[in-house]
Amino acid sequence: MSLRRLLYPRSLAIVGASDKVGPGFNAWNALRAVGFEGDVHLVNPKRDSLFGQPCYGALADIPGEIDAAFVAVQAEHVLEIARQAADKGAGGLAILSSGFGEVGTDGAKTQRSLAALAAERGLAVCGPNCLGFLNFSGRTALFGTSLPDQVPRGGVAAVVQSGSVGIALLNSARGIGFSHLITSGNEAVTTAADYIELLADDPAVQVIVVFLEQMRQPRKFVDCVRRARAAGKPVVVLKSGRSAGGQAAVTAHTGAVAGAVEVCDAALRQSGAIQVFSLDSLIETALVFTTLARPLKAKGAAMLSLSGGEIALALDAGEQAGLTLPPVSTARQTLTDLLPAFSHIANPLDLTWAGLYDPTVAQRCARALGEQPDTGLLILLQDAPSGLGPQQASRYATLLSAVADGAAEAAVPLVTLSNISGDLHPSYADMAANKAVLCLRGTQEGIAALAQRLAWDRQALDDTAPAASPETARAAARAALDRMPAGVQVLDEHHGRRILASYGLPGIDEILADTAQEAAGAAQRIGFPVVLKALVAETTHKSELGLVRLMLQSVEEVHEAAAALLERARAVAPVTTPRLLVQEMVTPVAELLVGARIDPEFGPVIVTGGGGVQVELFKDVAIRLAPVTPETAAAMIGETRSGRLLDGWRGRPRGDIAAAAAAVSALSRFLHDFADEVREIEINPLAVLEEGRGCRALDCVLLRSDPSIGRR
């Protein structure tokens, strides 16, 4: 695999080697810093030798094969060097040069040429427009920027699209131990997904942290995160670019509620990635997952503090993050005996000043809490900012030491959390280091990271994709699609339902009619009350156009309404011939929207949530990459607030959630199967009846793909 040869090379070349400060110079130093023991060949046509080694005029002049090359030359020379590297049998290149996709049309053209060459010659490429990578655990590097004096080594592999963010992480002085830092730049060839795939298999890697500006190969990204997770390696993702761009006009609701940001969030969640929203959070989360790497005894935490105020702040953050704080159980008597009579024995526990002035009290409280069967972790809430006077700093350090001893006696890990994110007082930080206690910073950031960690050991992911749809269903839908009127992009509900019926989606009792007379007859056959709709080609949003009449009770009413609707339809679309649709009227427990669409990045996605106009007003939807199993579909319904309406909300009867979930799953499979010719399909509303009575697609819009618009 060429990427493995790029990231773990035994023989490499620095093109643009130099002894003057700059990328070529830094690259040489980086190799020294990480302790590279393989062969390094230097290429610089202007020098005979450098660093006591011979210098070659070109890659081609190097004797033998190379695994990888470092390239920091002007963009116009990059392709030629890549060709030479391929000729030398290289697996890949780290290309720092800018002047590619990031600089507009010309650069994008060069980038496409590079990608084509790499594909043809089987080259992996880190970059272009990056800083290269550091592989600490593999003791190798193709990295073009100076390193800090000390980088702690450890289990965190970072993949970042921004070099600046990489430098910030590398120099953060927050105690992160790195196994890798890969700046992936424009990802012309090799993407974050490719790196994750490789890192998931590296035993030196415990946690993978990722900073993305744009997710490339998004389906593969999701798959690779799942794979890393299956290998026990959390992937922490900070994805920027959440600001709203202009949203294009949409024909159905699904597009309005499942835009780029929402679909990406859903995909990350589905992949089991831990999504964070700031660099601070990314750091705290990486620290938590590397430091608390082994399974915890239980999924709950016990907190200790000297301060009701700090406890109140932590409780707020804990509720937001879903931190599990089990009530005091086996420790109650011990704590009652240890603390003053007025103390409130609870989790979090206020040690009061008794805990500060008598360290043995703190130690024994910590031990008792730690020994509870549902305590997986102890948290000491304590601010110890660097401005503290020596007296206070030393008291807090003593407290920390005592709590750490108690935690050690109970054999549970301890972390200490400060609300203020600045550096800690050295006395406190040194004590934490002595006792091997992780120091977290920032109430929300620290608590959220811990909540993720506590849930991790026991977290289940969505099922993976369901079994393929039966061939009969596909064939029937295929046939129905083929029978549809040619040249029509927007299929009406009647046609849509006929197609979906092939996938087992429940239709409704309905009859097409062309005249008021026919409609009245149809209504009699269906039974009153009925719903009457006028169908107009290429038209959605019938209600808003006044093309729907509900609750018609008699032949006369149907006749009169039909005449009115036909007239209205002709006014809306003068050149087409409207038809009438007569339908049974049902009384649902609740109405859902069920939509599926082709996302430009992720392909088919499935959406469900509250139906009607509410969907866009409240954006109360659950989103997944399609297809989904009925079990995942039921979980989706349960995630929405509208789903509560089906669950016996305020005395309502329970709705047929199983039938609704089956419909969601079926729609997801349909779009997945016909992704090439259908770009969006939406049932709004899906009427969910009482438990055991199924559901009905009351309306349906199917948008066929426009072959003239290019899609992925």
Of 385, 391, 453, the residue nearest 420 (C-alpha)? 385
Torsion angle defined by CA atoms of residues 185, 189, 192 and 198, in that order, rounded to the nearest 10 degrees: -130
For its own copies, the closer CB: 496 or 610: 610
Apex 558 CA angle, 554 and 563, nearest 5: 155
Q: Which of 618, 638, 654, 693 binds its own copies (CB under 8 A)?
A: 618
CB of 172 or CB of 324, closer to its own copies? 172
Q: Which of residues 353-382 bind its own copies (CB under 8 A)?
A: none
- Give dist(CA 556, CA 532) in Å, integer: 13
- For 550, the token pair is 């509900």
Question: What is the DSSP track for 511-560?
Answer: EEESSHHHHHHHHHHH-SSEEEEEE-TT---TGGGT-EEEEE-SHHHHHH
Q: Residue 12 to residues 65, 91, 233, 365, 669: CA-CA distances in angstroms?
A: 9, 10, 30, 57, 48
Q: Point out which residues pair with 512 in neighbouring strands.
A: 581
Distance CA 600, CA 303 (A): 46
What's the closest the beta carbon of residue 391 comes to its own copies, in angstroms? 5
The kind and range of the H/E element at 678 are strand 678-688
The binder of its own copies chosen from 53, 74, 171, 330 (CB under 8 A)? 171
CB of 407 to its own copies, least distance (A): 21
- Rule CB under 8 A: say whether 241 interacts with its own copies: yes
Residues 643-662 that bind its own copies (CB under 8 A): 644-645, 649-652
Site for its own copies in 419-438 (CB under 8 A): 419-423
Minimum distance from CB of 65 to its own copies (Å)?
33
Does 240 bind its own copies (CB under 8 A)? Our answer is yes
Establish if 20 lies at the interface with its own copies (CB under 8 A): no
- Residue 195, Ramachandran bin (φ over 0: left; ψ between -120 and 50: alpha; else beta): alpha
Exactly one of 37, 319, 677, 706 binds its own copies (CB under 8 A); that residue is 319
Closest to its own copies by CB, 391 or 708: 391
Nearer to its own copies, 409 or 616 (CB): 616
Asked if 170 interacts with its own copies (CB under 8 A), we say: yes
Task: Enumerate residues 6+ apart whose C-beta is below 8 A from 335.
Answer: 328, 343, 345, 349, 365, 368, 369
Q: Are residues 550 and 574 in contact, defined by beta-carbon separation less than 8 angstroms?
A: no
Among 467, 575, 617, 709, binds its own copies (CB under 8 A): 617
Q: Which amino acid is at 185?
A: G
- What residue has token string 């707020």? 316
Torsions phi, psi for 159 (to 5 deg):
-120, 115
Distance in Å, CB of 182 to its own copies, minimum: 14
Out of 441, 494, 549, 579, name the contact with its own copies by CB under 8 A: 441
| Subset of residues 31 to 90 that bind its own copies, contact rule: CB under 8 A | none
Q: How far is the CB of 229 from its own copies (least distance, A)?
A: 25
Assess 308 for contact with its own copies (CB under 8 A).
Answer: yes
Shortest separation between residue 439's beta carbon and its own copies, angstroms: 11
| Residue (of 610, 652, 656, 612) closest to 634 by Cα position | 656
Closer residue to its own copies, CB minimum distance, 200 or 325: 325
Site string for its own copies, 557-576 (x = CB under 8 A): --------------------
From the list 439-447, 466-474, 576-584, 669-677, the region that binds its own copies by CB under 8 A is 439-447
Distances (CA, A) of 291 to 75, 285, 418, 688: 42, 10, 17, 48
Query: Which one-letter amino acid corresponds to residue 476?
Result: A
Q: Which residue number, 144 or 506, has a Cβ lying nearer to its own copies?
A: 144
Out of 250, 315, 455, 573, the residue judged to bind its own copies by CB under 8 A: 315
Tell which positions 111-150 bind its own copies, by CB under 8 A.
145-150
Give the residue with the Cβ less far from its own copies, 130 or 500: 130
Which residue lies nearer to its own copies by CB, 55 or 523?
Answer: 523
To its own copies, the closest distance from the beta carbon of 383 in angstroms equals 4
User: Judged by CB under 8 A, does residue 280 bind its own copies?
Assistant: yes
The count of other CB atoms within 10 Å of the CB of residue 296 is: 18
- Contact string (CB under 8 A) for its own copies, positions 218-237, x = contact: --------------------
Q: Which of 57, 309, 327, 648 binds its own copies (CB under 8 A)?
A: 309
> Do residues 671 and 625 make contact, with C-beta atoms less than 8 angstroms apart?
no
Q: Does 525 bind its own copies (CB under 8 A)?
A: no
Nearer to its own copies, 51 or 357 (CB): 357
Q: In whole angstroms, what is the distance from residue 405 CA to residue 409 CA?
A: 6
